Amino acid sequence: MTLHPELLYTFATGNQTAETQEQLHRIVVYLLQVFDEEQERFATVNNLPIEEETYAEMRQDYAAYLADLVLGLRTRMIDKQQRMKDDGTFDRMVLFLMVVNEFDRIEHSEWSNAKQLAQLNVVQHFRLTHPGATIMKRWVAHAGGCERCLAMDGVEVPIDEPFLVAGQAVQTANGEAFIYDYISRDVAIMHPNDRCYVEFIITY
């Protein structure tokens, strides 16, 4: 499935209509492809069953999160369009490129998040079918990562606990402290285009 840039532009800048909801649905389904494909791949590679009903809840939650991201894009572009019209600088091509670039940023940033959430979904199902297993998840930072990502390298938490929560203080290797002020993170994502990933540790 692919998305035509004109669909993105119409969704992001057009008036609210019934078609807008259909466009939103198409965009979210498009973004969910990575989640769905990685879930199947990860389960197959690890010889774990895929039961659609079990996996549906996390997928639904992630779809709602994606919808919020895309609606946020629409809000920003509607506002930008109005300001351009108000000050006489409106240029359709300029706004079109803004929409496409902003969507590309969302898509690229969500690539790792979608993959990790899909893997987490599979492992959580494994835990349900193996009640004697203890499963931890470990944050693994990319070697060339930023100081904030490197501060999380090696952190282990139970599978059903977040790595980061809004308001949490984190200290980097050089002693600098910062407050994490974004959404709670169940996977190893600190910022857009993050290259960190999760390892799962299973003991019986």
95: left (phi over 0), alpha (psi -120 to 50) or beta: alpha
Cα separation, 149 vs 188, in Å, equals 9
Strand pairing partners for 164? 185
pLDDT given at position 44 = 92
Q: How far apart are the first and last CA of the chain?
A: 41
Strand 134-140 to strand 156-158: parallel, antiparallel, or no bridges (unpaired)? antiparallel
Cα separation, 204 vs 189, in Å, equals 28
Cα separation, 194 vs 108, in Å, equals 10
The pTM score is: 0.84
Higher pLDDT, 155 or 175: 155
The answer on pLDDT for 191 being more than 90 is no
Do residues 73 and 106 touch, judged by C-beta distance below 8 A?
yes
Asked which of 26-40, 166-180, 183-197 is least confident by mean pLDDT, the reply is 166-180
Which amino acid is located at 157 in the chain?
V
Q: How confident is the model at residue 45 (pLDDT cuts 50, 70, 90)?
A: very high
* Tokens of residue 143, six digits: 């070697």
Residue 192, φ and ψ in degrees, nearest 5: -55, 145
pLDDT given at position 10 = 97
Mean pLDDT of the chain: 91
The answer on pLDDT for 204 being more than 90 is no
Per-residue pLDDT tens digits for 72-98: 999 999 999 999 999 999 999 999 999
Q: How confident is the model at residue 32 (pLDDT cuts 50, 70, 90)?
A: very high
pLDDT given at position 174 = 76
Report, as an integer, the average pLDDT of 10-21. 95
The answer on pLDDT for 131 being more than 90 is no
pLDDT given at position 144 = 84
